[in-house]
Structure 1
Amino acid sequence: MKLSEIKTILPTLNNVEFQLENGTLVPENFHVTEVGMITKHFIDCGGTTRTEKAVSFQLWDADDFEHRLKPGKLLNIIKLSEERLEIEDDEIEVEYQNTTIGKYDLEFNGKTFVLKNKTTACLAQDACGIPAENQKSDLTSCCTPNSGCC
């Protein structure tokens, strides 16, 4: 989900609710503790230099059980971050601590925002020497010992 999409959805909601992909709800007393711009500059296993950008939301649930983040408040936080940080209309990546800090993509199911599990992938499959029928959807399929790409 791009930042412009959440800005369009928020004014239509009475409450802001997040859930994990498995249906588990993020506790309703969560806070959005950060909104930021993340830039990742890296080299893939095929030697190509790449840059990825994302808007980061960090969710945190605290012990203040009466806290409820309203759509207008989140919209104001987003607008302030756009002004001060010059955030662009990029995809949103959500950080949320489950058993460890996880990074999630974001979707909307008509009622709640869904934290979608992210997966790794090889960005240089042509450089790995792995036949297409043997390639998996995670990074280990490309960068295995003696594969020639790592």
Structure 2
Amino acid sequence: MKLSEIKNILPNLTNIEFQLENGAFVPEHFHVTEIGFITKHFIDCGGTIRDEKVVNFQLWNANDHDHRLKPKKLLSIVKLSEEKLGIEDAKIEVEYQVDTIGKYDLDFNGTHFILKNKQAACLASDSCGSSSTKPKIQISGTSSSCCAPKSGCC
């Protein structure tokens, strides 16, 4: 989800809820402790220089049970961040601490925001030798007919 998308969604909400992919919800008394614009300049394992820009939201559970961030307030924080930091309309990445600080992509299911698990991936698999598919091997001493479906060998 990009920053422009959350800005369009927030005015239509009564409350803000974030849910992890495992079904657990971020406690409703969370704080958005910071919004930032992060630029990552790096080289991948294949030698390609890359740039990545994300808008970063950091969620924090402060155990302040009387706190409830409303959509209008979050929208004002987003707009202030754009004005003061020159934030671009980039993809949003959310930091939230469960066991350690995790980074999540952001999605919306029509009622609440979903913190989508991020996965590491090789960006240069064609040049560094890694492969996303496992090679097929023949185990010696077996024949293809012995492990046919419903053959009873497994």
Identify whether the pair has TM-score above 0.5, normalized to the shorter chain. yes
Does residue 123 in structure 1 map to residue 123 in structure 2? yes
Deviations 1:43-76 (A, max 9, x none): 0000111000000000001121010000000000
Letter of the structure 1 residue corresponding to residue 27 of structure 2: P
Residue aligning to 2:141: none
- Contact 2:107–2:114 under 8 Å retained in 1: yes
Counterpart of 2:110 in structure 1 is 110
Root-mean-square deviation (Å): 1.2
Deviation at 1:133, TM superposition (A): 3.1
For residue 104 of structure 2, give the secondary structure of its aligned residue in structure 1.
strand
Alpha carbons of structure 1 residues 68 and 119: separation in structure 2 relative to 1, 3 Å: same
Question: Following the alignment from structure 1 to structure 2, what is the Cα–Cα distance between the partners of residues 86 and 71?
Answer: 21
Paired residues in the alignment total 135
Q: Which residue of 2 aligns with 1:44?
A: 44
- SS of 1:133's equivalent in the other structure is coil
For 2:96, the equivalent position in structure 1 comes to 96
Secondary structure of the structure 2 residue equivalent to 1:134? coil
- State percent identity of aligned pairs: 70
Aligned-pair distance for 1:101?
A: 0.2
Mean Cα deviation higher: 23-32 or 125-134: 125-134
Cα distance in 1, alignment partners of residues 25 and 133 from structure 2: 37
Answering whether residue 50 of structure 2 is matched by residue 65 of structure 1, we say: no
Change in 2 beyond 3 A, CA 1:78/1:132:
closer
Give the AA of the match of 1:133.
Answer: T
Does the residue aligned with 1:6 lie in a helix, a strand or coil? helix
Query: How high is the TM-score relative to the length of structure 1?
Result: 0.87
Given residue 92 of structure 1, which amino acid in structure 2 is its aligned partner?
Answer: I
Give the match for residue 79 of structure 2.
Answer: 79
Normalising by structure 2, report the TM-score. 0.85
Tell which structure's C-alpha radius of gyration is larger. Answer: 2
5+ long unaligned stretches in structure 2? 136-154
